Amino acid sequence: MHVLILGGTTEGRRLAELLHGRPGLAVTTSLAGRVASPRLPPGEVRVGGFGGTEALTAWLRERRIGALVDATHPFAATMSRHAARAAATAEVPLLALRRPGWTPGEGDDWHEAGSSEEAAALLPALGRRVFLTTGRMGLAAFAGLDDLWFLVRSVDPPEGPRPARAQTLLDRGPFTLDGERELLRRHRIDVVVTKDSGGAATAPKLTAAREAGLPVVVVRRPPLPAGVPVTPTPEAAAHWVTEQWSRTAG
């Protein structure tokens, strides 16, 4: 059985590792290609978009995909919608692999936003020096905040409109708590902006912000398409794939 993993996350890479080399399974991981030097999983890897729902449907049929796992970033809403529609049309079993989101703890000063635009609207009342960790995409939402200073952290250089007063920090997680503490102190950060990506790799900034008494603007995740089953761990996803293979083999 041929399995397609829509990857680009730590969980997707781990799932490929768990499935690679299993008898009776062929595994392909698809990466969007937005990161210049991605960490490649084992097995076959394709890079680049499919070109929409119809093209993905055709690809599933042509490659006779027996199981599809959406292990994209929690904010890759467009790809998740395409995956759900294509899987339904091609009659391919679909599972979403999503790490749990973050939850506020005692001492956290979180301000939830439904979008980057909502996050930008909250900032002037919260601080003047912003640690912006929403990635290199979508910075245009913050471009009009000329009175604020931004430290923008991303894996690759930002593209498109961005804040006028900004410094870019190119870095890739996982990050340490000591490193995040020093970063907030050195740049005199007084407010943090993040997407609810979840996971441990980038969570230390939340602890550092709590310790420093800083407000954090958290952009909520978009919902998954209706009816798509979801699991939080690569191990559970691997078990699901094995079940699909058993049904096919039987």
Q: What is the Cα–Cα distance from 162 to 140, expressed in whole angstroms?
A: 5
Q: Is the pTM of this model over 0.85?
A: yes
Q: Are 28 and 46 in contact (CB under 8 A)?
A: yes
Kindly report the CATH class assigned to 109-219.
Answer: alpha beta
pLDDT digits (tens, 9 = 90+) for 126-157: 999 999 999 887 899 999 999 999 999 998 88
* Whole-number pLDDT of residue 40: 85
* Whole-number pLDDT of residue 201: 83
Q: How sure is the predictor about 219, in pLDDT bands with cuts at 50, 70 and 90?
A: very high
Indicate where the chain has its CATH 3.40.50.720 domain(s).
Answer: 2-100+223-249, 109-219
Q: What is the Cα–Cα distance from 38 to 31, expressed in whole angstroms?
A: 8
Q: How sure is the predictor about 250, in pLDDT bands with cuts at 50, 70 and 90?
A: low
Q: Which CATH superfamily is domain 2-100+223-249 in?
A: NAD(P)-binding Rossmann-like Domain (3.40.50.720)
**36, pLDDT greater than 70:** no
Dihedral sign, CA of 142, 145, 146, 151?
negative
**12, pLDDT greater than 90:** yes
